[in-house]
Structure 1
Amino acid sequence: MKKWSYLLSGVLIGAVIATAGSAFADQVKTLIGAKVAGEYTVKVNGSALTENAIVVDGKAHVPLRAVSDSLGAGIKVDGKTIQIETQTQASAKSPAETKKKPQQESENSQIYIQNLEARITSIKSYKSFWENSLKGAEDSQVKYNKRIDELTNLPASNDPITQENRKKSLASAQEAIEENSKQITEYKEKIAKYDEDIAKLEAQLATSTK
């Protein structure tokens, strides 16, 4: 459950920052302390999003900002209202409606930059969780190896029961090391993927702020 607590924290942090905080205040209050029942990969047109969806109290919560960005939809927070505009809606407007003033273009550019910053912050929170998981797994690996050394260096015994118990303990420690090694590899791969996503978003941010 500690794992899900980290994940839920990451989702909430991303949601709050991505929407300037106030829009999700009530929702965040209702989710704090709730049990996360599952995690799902979200795919848009066959491509998986970086952030996963979670299920809390029987309801699925998806990363709104990532979904809207992947669909090419515009998203803007106005007070306690989240406005989403698809490309179809934008193209259906009259020329007069779609004509943008310099001030509006500047506002849209600022919103885009804020969106990028929010996504970077959200992904970093996920990365932090897996970094903590990796550290825990590596610490456990040290303990398992130490246990094997202790069992291996125990004085020889002619007692059959003692020999059998040592054999079982050694097998158990070796099995734990193998399983832990798989987890370490998995965690490192996740962290590397998050680093890649963060680098791409930071490059976009650097281009947008020039």
Structure 2
Amino acid sequence: MKKFTHKFAYIAGGVIIGIVFSTTAGAFADSVKSMVGKKVTGEYLVVVNGKGLSDKGAVIDSKANVPARSLSEALGADVKVSGKTIYITTDEEQGGTSTAAEVPSSNNEYSGRSKADLEGVKQVLIEKILEPTKAGREVLLKELADAEKNGSEQVIEAKKKQIATYDADIEKYSADLAKVEAALAATK
């Protein structure tokens, strides 16, 4: 009778351990996000420092995904794949100088917005901000030309500062417009 009780205890213990392992492994697997089997809903051109990459980016599950090897090579970083992990090493991590200041941020605050919202933002940027700012800059250029004819140094310096401010605004809003257009391309 004792042998039967011990065998039953071992079997019951094994079943309980098996259940614990199978449920925790399943719960862990559910917490890991995988793109396997996900649908690609769009693609877009990836531009690094003004040059387009040969590989396109993809929109998967409403998120932009870029080709890691092409992107890192364009940035001059080293790429190493080990198992299911991709390691990208920049010059800064290798003890050299960083090129991060030269590379625009990959974070796009407009990503994930609806197409209608992005088109509205684009329209506002163009019609309400960029076009009036460019028109104001043109007016200032004419005023600067008039001031240079009259020779008023204070007015000339003031106009040059105003034009520099307009140039900075145009650059900033043009960069915002490029981000909006990239986010729009990702929604297609």
**Structure (1/2) with the larger helix percentage:** 1
TM-score category by the smaller chain? Answer: 0.3 to 0.5
Q: TM-score, normalised by structure 2?
A: 0.33
Output the TM-score relative to the length of structure 1.
Answer: 0.30
